[in-house]
Chain A
């Protein structure tokens, strides 16, 4: 069965600092992994996705994530945080065993001036 664990429900960084949001997954078959972002009162938007083509995936707004099979992780990073990055971020997994995408509980990112 698929599952996703996001470590830290809240993360706070200063503007210009590194952003690191952690995600670990569980899947019985090679997974497809996603990061989504949600701004207040909106739906989720895709940031990036991993589909086995390359372990380092670049997404929109300067975010990237690295797939590490040995650690079953797919952490999201951004070298320099911007105020506009403040939002909630969701890691998600799907695989060939099912039809649905499973989401983590989310990590709310706060960016301090």
Chain B
């Protein structure tokens, strides 16, 4: 019974390159959330997606960041032209529905380092 799978676990990119982070939700979950974690700052909400739809992207930077959750395949968080400030741990979480009282199931995160 696999949990939320994120890959890669570690990703190193040079400034200006693109980063692609992947997330496969738990089996039976169709709701995906992306969070960013910076040291001493906790988790910051970025985006909430359902299959083929972005429901809430209020936490996503307006430029360079995008997310998708296609009908088939994992959810992708894409960061174009990365800068040093993008270095962080990015966590994906999933839930079986959009009920506000459904706890989130987290993956182990992707640690992005921009050199």
Chain A bound to chain B: yes
Complexed CA–CA distance, A48 and B104 (Å): 12
- Are B42 and A105 neighbours in the complex by a CB distance under 8 Å? yes
**Segment among B12-20, B61-69, B79-87, B105-113 that sits at the interface with chain A:** B105-113
Q: Is A25 at the interface (CB under 8 A from chain B)?
A: no
A contact residues, total (Cβ < 8 Å): 26
Q: Is B41 at the interface (CB under 8 A from chain A)?
A: yes
Complexed CA–CA distance, A100 and B95 (Å): 11
Q: Is A46 at the interface (CB under 8 A from chain B)?
A: yes
Q: A101-B45, A105-B40 are in contact. Are A34 and B103 (CB under 8 A)?
A: yes
Q: A99-B48, A100-B45, A104-B42 are in contact. Are A94 and B101 (CB under 8 A)?
A: yes
B contact residues, total (Cβ < 8 Å): 25
- B47 to A, closest residue via Cβ: A100
Complexed CA–CA distance, A43 and B26 (Å): 14
Chain A residues, CB < 8 A from B101 = 32, 49, 51, 94
Q: Is A15 at the interface (CB under 8 A from chain B)?
A: no
Q: A94-B101, A99-B100 are in contact. Are A44 and B91 (CB under 8 A)?
A: yes
- B8-60 interface with A by 8 A CB criterion: 33, 35, 40-45, 48, 55-56, 59
- Are A99 and B56 neighbours in the complex by a CB distance under 8 Å? yes
Q: A43-B4, A103-B42 are in contact. Are A94 and B100 (CB under 8 A)?
A: yes
Complexed CA–CA distance, A80 and B66 (Å): 45
Q: Is A90 at the interface (CB under 8 A from chain B)?
A: yes
Residues of B within 8 A of A (CB): 4, 33, 35, 40-45, 48, 55-56, 59, 91, 93, 98, 100-101, 103-109
